[in-house]
């Protein structure tokens, strides 16, 4: 009844039907049980309505028994209901029915009397109209109040929910801000001043002496609307960098032919190189890095311009606006400019065509950055630290200047002479010289085909020195004819050429012949690097060689000069000459095997792709097969 | 000679008048590690530098009241380094709002014959002590954390006895006369060291007894 689910209880009477008859085949015929109305009628017949409830005391005697009940039932067939003490459980029913009968009789009597309208009359009761409506309004008001209470409860609950949701979001944002701050702190120097968080993006802690404060401020990004969805690149942290470090900057170093118009100075285009941002880096990181780069570029340019003004040199350097112009070589102009673009406004004075990318020497720009950082590092070297501790900072060796009584020359030796500008000019000179040498060698190599010119540039170079080995060989005969090897050391202002043996190029051919003769088995009869006969050469001297065939019958003479070209003569044995000078003295035929007059070879018509090849063919032709 | 290359002071005859700005404090031995750690983080990024010095204080008593004091200091860890002779003037009393002690300072490097020379000049050694500790640098400022020890036998630097159970912390900066920017930097730096060590200006004349 309370709590548990309703259990259906079915009540079945174990009514054993009385067997009326048993048939011969075993089937039993039951006495049909009494129906409800029959049962009720049977029971009602036993109630004695004439007996009142005051006669209940008599019922105490004896309990009704079925036998007695059955026996008494037969006595009641007359129809009169006598009070039976065995009907005690039905007594209340009997009494209630009796009182109901009484009431009904009274009502019947009253109604019959009222119907006559003589002694009693019925009057309708007047209805109060207000009484009807007040319950409605009252109901309305009460309903309203109830609804109001319910609504208030719901509202309170909703308020609490929304507050907790907002708090969660706030917490998340707060936590995000803190974790971002932690990440920021792991990469940049931060400190708390009052209630502001300031940071330092200058290179001062790395040894710079540039008087820029480089302070940035970290602010919380609170302009986010909680209702709207947070944007993808939302960052709860924002940095505010000093206004003069905004945008991006780089230093452009370029070498050009001297511009005749000096009015062009100071109008360097500021085309913006788009910085590549790695995916995943925060906005503040990109901003801070760019600002730091701008600061470094400014420092480099300030140092360069200061040196340009202070250092005395033969050709003075010009410093105009954001450009420094100097002349490393006559006719050549080196310009170093600081290109700083703030990014907001487009620079309308950009040059009409995009500046040539190879105009900008990236290597020198990189070197400038490196040298600046090198300078910073020197400031921090432990050489500067004083021992004893009370001494002021300064280079260790400079401190000895006093006690050791150094003179001015020694002190100037100690101090660093070269500034940034000088270094970069030297490097620019070297680069220019190197490129000029390379171009010259390449043009020569492409122009001169016979002896081939090969240039091997060494990979390991200095900023001020490079070297290249030039080999002059003939194609196909590199192993035998490798006499000429030049090494060029390209410095800042000069090129030093070191020959292997100290020879001029035209001698190469003659040497080649000499080597070839060794290979072919020909005998070298004479060889001279500088012949004194024949036309005088303007550069160097002509050289000549004479080689004889293995059997001695033929001889080849070669005279090669740088300007006169090469001349090849072949000496034939006397027996092969057309005309035989008749002589009475020489009788023996063996003398006809001696070499006789010589004939010139039309060298240009000879077959063969280069000199040495032709020579080889010639030698082969003159060597008779055995 | 200590000014960064960007600024240049107009030199009016002789050498530039240098002023020393000084703030001092002390930490107990137990707190040394945390102080060193913090200094390492705040100062310029260099390898930590330790030093061992021996200082002699020379007095020249004249007819006037105040004797003339010169401090000669040499490094025991770098014996070949020159001696350092220092004169410190009276602290400037002009500006009460200035946070650091300011006094005139003259620094001279000297050869190893300095003690004999001073003796010849008439100076008498008043006292000597050894100091060893760490030295840091931030820009123009120098931070020295040192432990002072008394020398028991004059001239013998091996036999020393600690003067106290704490370390002396000194924050100093050298600047030409007239430039006051160092003072601000020193004040903000001292602020950053606040909970670990309190650096304040201690007037040496008030300490004299």
Instruction: Tell me the nearest-neighbour CA distance from B84 into chain A, angstroms.
Output: 6
Are B45 and A400 a contacting pair at CB < 8 A?
A: no
- Asked if pLDDT for residue A275 goes beyond 90, the answer is no
Residues of B in contact with A212 (CB under 8 A): none
Q: How many CB atoms are located within 10 Å of the residue A367 CB?
A: 20
Which residue of B lies nearest to A394 if distances are taken between CA atoms? B2
pLDDT in tens, A500-549: 554 555 667 777 788 888 888 888 888 887 778 877 776 567 788 888 88
Q: For the sheet containing A323-326, what is the strand order?
A: A248-257, A332-341, A323-326, A318-320
More confident residue, A299 or A519: A299
Containing H/E element for A440?
A: helix A420-447
Three-state SS at A114: helix
B107 in contact with A, Cβ within 8 Å: yes
For the residues B141-167, what does the mean pLDDT come to? 88
pLDDT in tens, A565-595: 788 888 888 777 666 666 777 777 777 777 8
Are A391 and B53 a contacting pair at CB < 8 A?
A: no
Rounded to whole angstroms, the Cα distance separating A243 from A129 reads 84
Instruction: Tell me the nearest-neighbour CA distance from A420 into chain B, angstroms.
Output: 14
Pairing of the two strands A215-220 and A196-200? antiparallel
- Asked if pLDDT for residue B90 goes beyond 60, the answer is yes
Going by C-alpha positions, the residue among B97, B100, B89 that lies closest to residue B25 is B100
Confidence tier at A342 by pLDDT (50, 70, 90) = confident
Instruction: Tell me the nearest-neighbour CA distance from B164 into chain A, angstroms.
Output: 20
Question: Are A176 and A184 a contacting pair, CB within 8 Å?
Answer: no
Among the ranges A132-146, A180-194, A287-301, B40-54, which has the highest mean pLDDT value? A287-301
Are A396 and B53 a contacting pair at CB < 8 A?
A: no
Are B5 and A209 a contacting pair at CB < 8 A?
A: yes
Q: Which of the residues B109, B110, B113 would you substitute to probe the A interface, choosing the one with the greatest number of A C-beta atoms within 10 Å?
A: B109
Are B6 and A210 a contacting pair at CB < 8 A?
A: yes
Least trusted range by pLDDT, from A401-405, A482-486, A531-535: A482-486
- How much is the pLDDT for A59? 47
For the residues A116-139, what does the mean pLDDT come to? 77
- Asked if pLDDT for residue A620 goes beyond 60, the answer is yes
Q: Which ipTM did the prediction report?
A: 0.78
More confident residue, A603 or A313: A603
Query: Can you list the pairs that A614-622 forms with residues at least 24 positions away whose Cβ atoms lie under 8 Å?
Result: A615/A512, A615/A513, A615/A516, A615/A556, A615/A558, A615/A568, A616/A516, A616/A520, A618/A556, A618/A568, A618/A570, A619/A516, A619/A517, A619/A520, A619/A522, A619/A547, A619/A549, A619/A556, A620/A520, A622/A549, A622/A553, A622/A554, A622/A556, A622/A570
Residues of B in contact with A392 (CB under 8 A): 1-2, 107, 174
Which residues, 6+ apart, have CB-to-CB distance to A390 below 8 Å?
B53, B55, B71, B73, B84, B86, B144
Tell me the HSE value of B124 on the side-chain side, using a 13 A CA sphere: 5
In angstroms, how far is CA B102 from the centroid of its own chain? 12
Instruction: Tell me the nearest-neighbour CA distance from A177 into chain B, angstroms.
Output: 24
For the residues B74-96, what does the mean pLDDT come to? 84
A310 in contact with B, Cβ within 8 Å: no
B148 in contact with A, Cβ within 8 Å: no
Main-chain phi, psi angles of B23, to 5 degrees? -130, 140
- Asked if pLDDT for residue B136 goes beyond 80, the answer is yes
Tell me the HSE value of A270 on the side-chain side, using a 13 A CA sphere: 19
- How much is the pLDDT for A486? 72
Containing H/E element for A97?
A: helix A91-116
Which residue of A lies nearest to B79 if distances are taken between CA atoms? A387
Please give the structure tokens belonging to residue A537. 């050469």
Q: Which of A206, A384, A402 sits opposite B108 (nearest CB)?
A: A402
- Asked if pLDDT for residue A104 goes beyond 90, the answer is yes
Which residues, 6+ apart, have CB-to-CB distance to A418 below 8 Å?
none
Rounded to whole angstroms, the Cα distance separating B168 from A67 reads 125
Residues of B in contact with A196 (CB under 8 A): none
Question: Are B53 and B74 a contacting pair, CB within 8 Å?
Answer: yes
Please give the structure tokens belonging to residue A47. 């109630």
For the residues A207-217, what does the mean pLDDT come to? 84
Rounded to whole angstroms, the Cα distance separating A611 from A494 reads 34
Are B44 and A206 a contacting pair at CB < 8 A?
A: yes
Residues of B in contact with A307 (CB under 8 A): none
DSSP A415: S
Please give the structure tokens belonging to residue B14. 């002789």
Question: Are B169 and B199 a contacting pair, CB within 8 Å?
Answer: yes
Three-state SS at A297: helix
A389 in contact with B, Cβ within 8 Å: yes
Pairing of the two strands B101-110 and B83-91? antiparallel
Instruction: Tell me the nearest-neighbour CA distance from B91 into chain A, angstroms.
Output: 18
Are B51 and A387 a contacting pair at CB < 8 A?
A: yes
Strand partners, A143: none
Question: Are A534 and A558 a contacting pair, CB within 8 Å?
Answer: no
Instruction: Tell me the nearest-neighbour CA distance from A403 into chain B, angstroms.
Output: 5
Residues of A in contact with B131 (CB under 8 A): 389
Q: How many CB atoms are located within 10 Å of the residue A392 CB?
A: 19
Residues of B in contact with A393 (CB under 8 A): 2, 137, 140, 142
Strand partners, A412: none
User: What angle in degrees, to the nearest 10, is found between the helix axes of A507-520 and A611-622?
Assistant: 40
Percentages (nearest 5) of helix, strand, coil residues in chain A: 40, 20, 40
- Asked if pLDDT for residue A239 goes beyond 70, the answer is yes
Containing H/E element for A332?
A: strand A332-341
Going by C-alpha positions, the residue among B43, B142, B40, B174 that lies closest to residue A205 is B43
Which residue of A lies nearest to B188 if distances are taken between CA atoms? A193
- Asked if pLDDT for residue A33 goes beyond 80, the answer is no
- How much is the pLDDT for A152? 95
- Asked if pLDDT for residue A353 goes beyond 50, the answer is no
More confident residue, A405 or B3: A405
- Asked if pLDDT for residue B57 goes beyond 80, the answer is yes
Going by C-alpha positions, the residue among A84, A90, A89 that lies closest to residue A50 is A84
Are B81 and A403 a contacting pair at CB < 8 A?
A: no
Rounded to whole angstroms, the Cα distance separating A493 from A499 reads 20
Residues of A in contact with B110 (CB under 8 A): 402-403
Which residue of B lies nearest to A303 if distances are taken between CA atoms? B6
- How much is the pLDDT for A145? 94
More confident residue, A350 or A11: A11
Are A394 and B1 a contacting pair at CB < 8 A?
A: yes
Rounded to whole angstroms, the Cα distance separating A86 from A557 reads 173
B131 in contact with A, Cβ within 8 Å: yes
Q: Which of A211, A388, A400 sits opposite B73 (nearest CB)?
A: A388
Tell me the HSE value of A62 on the side-chain side, using a 13 A CA sphere: 11
Which residue of A lies nearest to B75 if distances are taken between CA atoms? A388
> In the A/B pair of chains, how many CB contacts fall below 8 A?
93
Q: For the sheet containing A215-220, what is the strand order?
A: A189-193, A196-200, A215-220, A237-240
Strand partners, A337: A252, A323
- How much is the pLDDT for A619? 86
Containing H/E element for A250?
A: strand A248-257
Question: Are A488 and A437 a contacting pair, CB within 8 Å?
Answer: yes
Residues of B in contact with A206 (CB under 8 A): 44-45
- Asked if pLDDT for residue A66 goes beyond 80, the answer is no
For the residues A53-77, what does the mean pLDDT come to? 49
- How much is the pLDDT for A144? 94
- How much is the pLDDT for B96? 63
- How much is the pLDDT for B12? 37
Rounded to whole angstroms, the Cα distance separating A457 from B200 reads 65
DSSP string of B5-33, one letter each residue? TT--PPP-SSS--EEEEEEEEEEEGGGHH
Are A403 and B111 a contacting pair at CB < 8 A?
A: yes
- How much is the pLDDT for A72? 52
Instruction: Tell me the nearest-neighbour CA distance from A194 into chain B, angstroms.
Output: 11
Strand partners, B173: B21, B141
A104: left (phi over 0), alpha (psi -120 to 50) or beta: alpha
- Asked if pLDDT for residue A105 goes beyond 90, the answer is yes
End-to-end CA distance of chain A: 140
- How much is the pLDDT for B8? 37
Confidence tier at A279 by pLDDT (50, 70, 90) = low
pLDDT mean across residues, chain B:
83
User: What angle in degrees, to the nearest 10, is found between the helix axes of A420-447 and A283-310?
Assistant: 90
Percent of chain A with pLDDT over 70: 78
B40 in contact with A, Cβ within 8 Å: no
Instruction: Tell me the nearest-neighbour CA distance from A393 into chain B, angstroms.
Output: 7
- How much is the pLDDT for B88? 86
- Asked if pLDDT for residue B98 goes beyond 60, the answer is yes
- How much is the pLDDT for B7? 34
A403 in contact with B, Cβ within 8 Å: yes
A393 in contact with B, Cβ within 8 Å: yes
Q: Which of the residues B82, B184, B190, B193 would you substitute to probe the A interface, choosing the one with the greatest number of A C-beta atoms within 10 Å?
A: B82
Q: Which of B75, B108, B146 sits opposite A387 (nearest CB)?
A: B75
Whether cis (ω within 30° of 0) applies to the bond prior to A388 is yes
- How much is the pLDDT for A146? 95
Rounded to whole angstroms, the Cα distance separating A254 from A268 reads 11
B142 in contact with A, Cβ within 8 Å: yes
Residues of B in contact with A207 (CB under 8 A): 44
- Asked if pLDDT for residue A101 goes beyond 70, the answer is yes
Q: Which of B2, B51, B174 sits opposite A389 (nearest CB)?
A: B51
Q: Which of B5, B55, B78 sits opposite A387 (nearest CB)?
A: B78
Rounded to whole angstroms, the Cα distance separating A211 from A112 reads 125
B38 in contact with A, Cβ within 8 Å: no
A194 in contact with B, Cβ within 8 Å: no
- How much is the pLDDT for B118? 92
pLDDT mean across residues, chain A:
77
- How much is the pLDDT for A416? 67
Question: Are A470 and A453 a contacting pair, CB within 8 Å?
Answer: yes
Which residues, 6+ apart, have CB-to-CB distance to B41 below 8 Å?
none
A309 in contact with B, Cβ within 8 Å: no
- In whole angstroms, how far apart are CA A488 and each of A368, A444, A504, A509, B138? 27, 15, 15, 22, 48
End-to-end CA distance of chain B: 36
Please give the structure tokens belonging to residue A67. 């036998």
Instruction: Tell me the nearest-neighbour CA distance from B44 into chain A, angstroms.
Output: 5
For the residues A274-288, what does the mean pLDDT come to? 71
Percent of chain A with pLDDT over 90: 8
Least trusted range by pLDDT, from A66-75, A81-90, A487-496, B109-118: A66-75
- How much is the pLDDT for A175? 67
For the residues A30-50, what does the mean pLDDT come to? 83
Q: How many CB atoms are located within 10 Å of the residue A112 CB?
A: 10
Q: How many CB atoms are located within 10 Å of the residue B136 CB?
A: 20
């Amino acid at each position: 009844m309370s709590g548990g689910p309703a259990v259906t209880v079915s009540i079945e009477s174990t009514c054993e039907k009385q067997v009326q008859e048993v048939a011969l085949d075993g089937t039993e015929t039951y006495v049909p049980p009494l129906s409800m109305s029959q049962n009720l009628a049977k029971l009602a017949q036993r109630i004695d309505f004439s007996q009142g409830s005051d006669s209940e005391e008599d019922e105490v005697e004896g309990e009704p028994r079925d036998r007695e009940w059955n026996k008494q039932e037969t006595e009641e067939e007359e129809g009169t209901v006598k009070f039976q003490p065995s009907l005690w459980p039905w007594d209340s029913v009997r009494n209630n029915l009796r009182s109901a009968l009484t009431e009904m009789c009274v009502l019947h009597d009253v109604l019959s009397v009222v119907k006559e309208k003589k002694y009693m009359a019925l009057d309708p009761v007047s209805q109060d109209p207000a009484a009807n409506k007040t319950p409605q309004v009252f109901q309305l008001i009460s309903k309203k109040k109830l609804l109001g209470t319910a609504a208030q409860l719901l509202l309170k609950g909703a308020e609490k929910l929304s507050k907790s949701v907002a708090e969660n979001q706030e917490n998340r944002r707060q936590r995000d801000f803190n974790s971002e701050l932690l990440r920021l702190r792991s990469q940049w120097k931060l400190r708390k001043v009052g209630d502001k968080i300031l940071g330092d993006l200058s290179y001062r802690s790395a040894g710079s002496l540039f008087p820029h404060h480089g302070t940035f401020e970290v602010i919380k990004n609170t302009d986010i609307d909680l209702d709207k969805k947070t944007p993808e690149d939302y960052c709860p942290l924002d940095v505010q960098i000093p206004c003069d470090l905004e945008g991006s900057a780089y230093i452009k170093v370029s070498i050009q032919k001297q511009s005749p118009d000096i009015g062009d100075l100071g109008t360097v285009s500021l085309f913006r190189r788009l910085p590549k941002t790695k995916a995943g880096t925060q906005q503040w990181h990109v901003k801070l890095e760019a600002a730091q780069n701008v600061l470094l570029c400014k420092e480099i340019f300030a140092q360069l311009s200061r040196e340009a003004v202070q250092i005395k040199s033969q050709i003075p350097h010009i410093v105009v606006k954001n450009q420094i112009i100097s002349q490393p070589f006559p006719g050549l102009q080196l310009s170093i400019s600081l290109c700083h673009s703030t990014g907001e406004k487009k620079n309308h004075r950009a040059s009409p065509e995009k500046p040539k990318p190879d105009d900008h020497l990236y290597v020198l720009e990189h070197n400038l950055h490196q040298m600046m950082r090198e300078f910073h590092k020197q400031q921090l070297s432990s050489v500067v630290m004083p021992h004893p501790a009370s001494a002021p900072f300064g280079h260790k060796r400079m401190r000895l200047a006093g006690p050791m009584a150094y003179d001015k020359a020694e002190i100037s030796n100690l101090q660093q002479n070269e500034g940034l500008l000088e270094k970069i000019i030297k490097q620019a000179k070297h680069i220019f010289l190197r490129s000029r040498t390379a171009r010259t060698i390449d043009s020569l190599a492409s122009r001169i085909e016979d002896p081939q010119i090969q240039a091997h540039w060494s990979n390991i170079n200095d900023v001020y020195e490079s070297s290249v080995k030039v080999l002059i060989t003939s194609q196909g005969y590199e192993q035998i004819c490798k006499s000429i090897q030049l090494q060029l050391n390209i410095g800042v202002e000069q090129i030093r050429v070191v020959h292997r043996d100290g020879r001029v190029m035209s001698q190469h051919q003659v040497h080649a012949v000499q080597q070839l003769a060794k290979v072919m088995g020909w005998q070298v009869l004479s060889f001279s690097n500088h012949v004194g006969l024949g036309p005088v050469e303007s550069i160097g001297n002509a050289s000549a060689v004479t080689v004889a065939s293995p059997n001695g019958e033929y001889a080849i003479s070669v005279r090669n000069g740088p300007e006169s070209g090469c001349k090849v003569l072949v000496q034939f044995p006397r027996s092969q000459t057309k005309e035989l000078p008749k002589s009475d003295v020489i009788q023996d035929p063996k003398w006809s095997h001696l070499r006789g007059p010589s004939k010139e070879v039309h060298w240009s018509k000879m077959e063969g792709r280069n000199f040495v090849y032709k020579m080889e063919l010639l030698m082969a032709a003159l060597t008779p097969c055995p | 000679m200590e000014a960064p290359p960007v600024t240049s002071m107009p030199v009016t005859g002789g050498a530039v008048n240098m002023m020393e700005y000084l703030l001092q404090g002390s930490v107990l031995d137990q707190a040394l590690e945390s102080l060193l750690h913090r200094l390492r983080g705040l100062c310029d990024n260099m390898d930590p530098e330790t030093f061992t010095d021996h200082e002699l204080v020379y007095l020249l008593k004249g007819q006037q009241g105040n004797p003339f004091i010169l401090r000669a200091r040499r490094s025991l860890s770098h014996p070949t380094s020159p001696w350092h002779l220092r004169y410190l003037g009276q602290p400037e009393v002009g500006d009460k709002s200035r946070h650091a002690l300011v006094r005139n300072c003259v620094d001279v490097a000297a050869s190893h014959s300095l003690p004999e020379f001073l003796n010849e000049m008439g100076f008498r050694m008043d006292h000597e002590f050894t100091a060893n500790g760490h030295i840091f640098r931030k820009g123009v400022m120098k931070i020295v954390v040192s432990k002072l020890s008394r020398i028991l036998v004059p001239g013998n630097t091996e036999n020393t006895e600690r003067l106290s159970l704490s370390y002396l912390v000194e924050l100093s900066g050298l600047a030409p006369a007239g430039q006051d920017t160092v003072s601000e930097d020193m004040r903000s730096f001292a602020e950053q060291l606040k909970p670990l060590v309190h650096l304040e200006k201690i007037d040496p004349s008030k300490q004299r007894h």
